[in-house]
């Protein structure tokens, strides 16, 4: 338990995140679950502290894990006692959601790794950030709560460099550019993200590395990491990711690819505990390599 004395007027969630070096979202979770009391009283995250308020913070009690371990393939690119970097295959979601309790990345992590942080909750152990179901590539996973909190803060401060390879429809006006367009979730059951002036700040940097017929192969670097960010940003400027059915990327080419051409190929950051830079790479998976080969062969003949 932590016992603190307020020394200024400030929202309690902001005060505790600064004092305890926790993420604000984690502090808000503690407050919501009743693990934080001010002068012996339960408060809300919006409570504004007064000088000399006495704050008690309890550690969150561990919840029983109800997700099964699955002995299915998992490529571990890097691992130490604090964190791991894994290469997620396309077609699986990152963590259980709704009725989907099996065949997720978390099920495999639980089997292959010797420990995961508990901050994400019972269905999201170790999960610091996500990839869409049909996006392949690298994810960093926390094995300890300390690493989880620090990695989450690094993401918030844009200190984790994430790069993707994407194949887009059409040719972009500039071979190097930045898309700075706010995004928000569209109402309704289906998860779909739309551009909105009142949405969350979202920035994607890109560089064209090859043009294949009417398509552009690009490297995209995330400055922020909003849901579907790369897919929505490129769709909005008229160049959706190839085979991204949700955002207008379906093509009529005779290729075998049946998911969006998007792969997280590089991740790089200063290790939050050890202090040394960690950089990992993941080659394009076979389905994306095959699609490129098919398109190059077709459009080379047409030149």
Rounded CA-CA distance 127/107 in Å is: 12
Q: Which of 132, 134, 244, 287 is catalytic?
A: 132
Largest CA distance in the chain: 77
Q: What is the 3-state secondary structure (H, E, C) of 250-261?
A: CCCCCCCCCCCC
Annotated catalytic residue 132: yes
| Enzyme catalytic residues | 132
């Amino acid at each position: 338990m932590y016992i603190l004395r307020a020394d200024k007027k400030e929202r309690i969630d902001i005060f505790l995140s600064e004092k305890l070096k926790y993420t604000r979202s984690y502090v808000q979770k503690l407050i919501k679950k009743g693990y934080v009391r001010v002068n012996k009283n339960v408060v809300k995250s919006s409570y504004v502290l007064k000088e000399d308020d006495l704050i008690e913070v309890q550690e969150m009690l561990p919840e029983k894990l109800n997700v099964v371990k699955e002995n299915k393939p998992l490529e571990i690119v890097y691992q130490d006692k604090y964190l791991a970097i894994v290469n997620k295959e396309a077609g699986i979601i990152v963590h259980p959601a709704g009725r989907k309790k099996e065949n997720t990345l978390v099920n495999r992590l639980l089997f292959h790794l010797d420990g995961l942080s508990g901050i994400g909750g019972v269905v999201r152990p170790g999960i610091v950030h996500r990839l869409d179901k049909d996006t392949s590539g690298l994810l960093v996973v926390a094995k300890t709560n300390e690493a989880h909190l620090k990695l989450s803060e690094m993401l918030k401060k844009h200190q984790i460099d994430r790069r993707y390879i994407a194949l887009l429809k059409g040719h972009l006006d500039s071979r190097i550019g930045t898309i700075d367009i706010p995004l928000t979730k569209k109402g309704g059951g289906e998860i779909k993200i739309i551009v909105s002036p009142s949405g969350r700040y979202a920035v994607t940097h890109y560089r064209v590395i090859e043009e294949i017929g009417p398509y552009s192969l690009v490297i995209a670097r995330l400055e922020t990491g909003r849901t579907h960010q790369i897919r929505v940003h490129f769709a909005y400027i008229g160049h959706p990711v190839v085979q991204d059915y949700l955002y207008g990327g379906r093509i009529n080419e005779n290729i075998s690819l049946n998911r969006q051409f998007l792969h997280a190929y590089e991740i790089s950051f200063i290790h939050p505990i050890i202090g040394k830079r960690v950089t990992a790479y993941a080659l394009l998976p076979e389905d994306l390599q095959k699609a490129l080969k098919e398109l190059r062969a077709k459009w080379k003949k047409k030149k």
